[in-house]
Structure 1
Amino acid sequence: MLSVTEITVSSTTELTETVLSLVKEAEDDAPLWFRGQYSADWQLKSSLARSVTTSEQMFEKELRLLTRFRQRSLPFWPQGYPQDDWEHLFAMQHYGAPTRLLDWSENLFVGLYFSCTRGAYSKHSEVDDAANPVVWVLDPVGWNRGLGHLKDNASSVSILTTADDDELRPYSVSGRADFPRRYNAPVAIYGTHNSSRIVAQRGGFTIAGKSLDPMDSFAAEVGEKKLWKIKLLYSRDQMRRDLAVLGFAESMVFPDLVGLSREISESEGLHG
C-alpha cells in the first residue's frame, strides 16, 4: 500500500532544493501547499478532531461553536458584513477556535516558520523540544483528484472553493455525522480571505470529513506523490537565523501589533 512519502533534510538549502524537485512531480504543474509542525511525531489532525472521541461529537460541537461564534462576533465585524457558515469557520480557525480545518500555506517559508516556532503549540500538552520539526507538503489538486468520490470527474477537479456547492455539501456544517453523503477523507479548499493573517500566510485549508483519523492515514487511498513529510534534521535556531537572513519576519506572518511586538522582542534577545 502506498502511503506518505518521507524525506529528511539537514539544511534550509536542502529543504528548498527538495521542494523545487517536488514541484516537477506535481500533477499538471499544480501548486504545492506547506504545513509546518513543531514535532514530526504529530499527525495531520484538526484541533476539533483531537478534542472529541466520536464523529457525532465532532459535528455537534462544531455546530454549537459556530452558532456561539456567529452570535457573539457580530460587534467585531464591519456593519452589514454578510457571512455564511464557511466564512465564519475560516475566521474561527484563525482566531483559535477548534474546527475541522487544517491550515496550509502556499509559501514554503511560512511552513518552515511554524516548524521552528512554538506559537500556539506552547499550549500543546505533548510538546517535545527534542523532537525533530517537520514540513508537510501537499499537492492539493492531486489529493482532491485522488479522492474516491471525486475520481469520476478527476480531470476537471481542482482545489475546491466555497462556490462548489455539490462537492462541498458532504463537508458542510450540519450538526450530524450521518448527514447524507458525508465522506471520510479530508478535501483541499481555498478559504475566504476575511483575516489579514490568512492573506499574509497565503493560506489554504483542508477540511476533515466524518472520520477522526488523521489526514496522513488517507495517503494510501489517495495515491502516490500527493503528500510528503519532510523531517528537518537541523536546529530550530539555525532555521530562525536562515529565515531572518531571507528577510522573513514574524510581522510578515502575523501582520498586527502582536506580531510586531514579538518580532522586536526577539531582535533584542528578549522573550515575553
Structure 2
Amino acid sequence: MNSVSEYLNKINEVFNSGQIERIWYRGQSKINDKYKLLPSIYRETEQEYLEYDLFLRFKAKGVPFLKYKPETEWDWLFLMQHHGVPTRLLDWSEDALIALAFAVEKRTTGDNHEEDACVWLLNPFGLNTQFNAFRDYKFIPNVEEERIKEHFGMKPKHLLTGAAMYNMQHPISVIGSMNSDRIISQKGVFTLFPQPSSDLKPLEETENHDQFLYRIVIKKQSIDRIKQELIRFGVNENSLYPGLDSIAKEIERELKNK
C-alpha cells in the first residue's frame, strides 16, 4: 500500500468481502516479532499477578493527582492504560485515518529502509463470536457488564471466592471508560485479554483469526508520502494527542515548511 487512497480502497474491499458491520483499526510502525498483537502486560517476564499489583500501587499513589476519583476497578485499569502502565488492554481506534497516522507518525526518512509498517483491521463482532460467552450479543459489551467481570475479572485467581473462575482463552472486544481526552479524540476502543497464562497467543496467531483479523501493509518507501497526505487531510499531531504540546509541534512544523 503506497497512498491514503489505496489504503481506503483496501478497507472497502474488506467490507465488501463479507457481512461486516464494523471494523476497528490499529496502526503499528513496524512488522516484526516485537510487534505482536499482545497487550503490554504480556511482554513482561513476570506476568502472574503483576497487573493486580500494579493496579493496587497505581491506585494508592495516583489519588492526589486526580481531578476525579475513578468509581470502579475498570475505570482505574483504563486510567492505567492511558498513562502507560502495563495492562491486559490493547488499544484500537474506530477511525481508519487515525490508525494509519499511528503507523507512520514515528517513522522518518532515515529509517524508511528498515521495514514496512502496517494497520491491523479487526472485526470486533467476529472476534466475539469466537468466544462462547458472548456469541449471542448483538452489540459490543461494555467492560462494566457483570459477565465481563465473571470471565475477565481484575482479581488474581488465588484471591477468588465462590463460583467465579477465569478460564477464558480468547480476548474480547469491549467498550471502555471514556475517561481521558485522548481516548475520545482517538475514538479509542479496546480488546481485553484474559489474565496472563503461558499458553496465550497473540491475536494474529489465535485459532480462526483469519475470520476476524486482516492486515494492510504500508510500504516503507511510501511512509513519508502518506504522512504528508494525512496532514493535508487534517490528521495531524493534535488529532492524535490533543493538547498544547501538540499544537506547538503543529505550529513548528508549519513554520519549517514555509
TM-score by length of 2: 0.85
Q: Tell me, yes or no, if structure 1 residue 61 matches structure 2 residue 47.
A: no
Alignment equivalent of 1:195, drawn from 180, 202, 227: 180
| Contiguous gaps of at least 5 residues in structure 1 | 1-8, 120-126
Alignment equivalent of 2:239, drawn from 252, 255, 265: 252
Alignment equivalent of 1:235, drawn from 214, 222, 232: 222
Give the aligned residue type for 2:225.
Answer: Q
Partner of 1:51: 44
* Aligned partners of 1:144 and 1:157 also within 8 Å: no
- Structure 1 runs of 4+ aligned residues shifted over 4 Å read none
* Aligned partners of 1:61 and 1:175 also within 8 Å: no
CA distance in 1, matches of 2:214, 2:158: 29
Q: Tell me, yes or no, if structure 1 residue 103 matches structure 2 residue 91.
A: yes
Q: CA deviation at 1:194?
A: 0.3
Alignment equivalent of 2:82, drawn from 85, 94, 99: 94
CA distance in 2, matches of 1:155, 1:183: 17
Q: Matched residue pairs, number?
A: 244
| Contiguous gaps of at least 5 residues in structure 2 | none
CA distance in 2, matches of 1:31, 1:165: 24
Distance verdict in 2 for CA 1:132–1:204, change over 3 Å: same
Q: CA deviation at 1:71?
A: 1.2
The farther-off stretch of 166-175 and 97-106 is 166-175
Partner of 1:263: 250
Alignment equivalent of 1:140, drawn from 106, 118, 124: 124
Distance verdict in 2 for CA 1:111–1:34, change over 3 Å: same
Alignment equivalent of 1:20, drawn from 9, 12, 25: 12
Aligned identity (percent) is 27
Q: Tell me, yes or no, if structure 1 residue 170 matches structure 2 residue 151.
A: yes
* Aligned partners of 2:70 and 2:76 also within 8 Å: no
Q: CA deviation at 1:26?
A: 5.5
Structure 1 residues 124-163: aligned runs within 5 Å: 130-147=114-131, 149-150=132-133, 154-163=135-144
CA distance in 2, matches of 1:260, 1:14: 29
Partner of 2:63: 74
* Aligned partners of 1:116 and 1:240 also within 8 Å: yes
* Aligned partners of 1:115 and 1:135 also within 8 Å: yes
Partner of 1:122: none
Aligned alpha-carbon RMSD (Å): 2.4
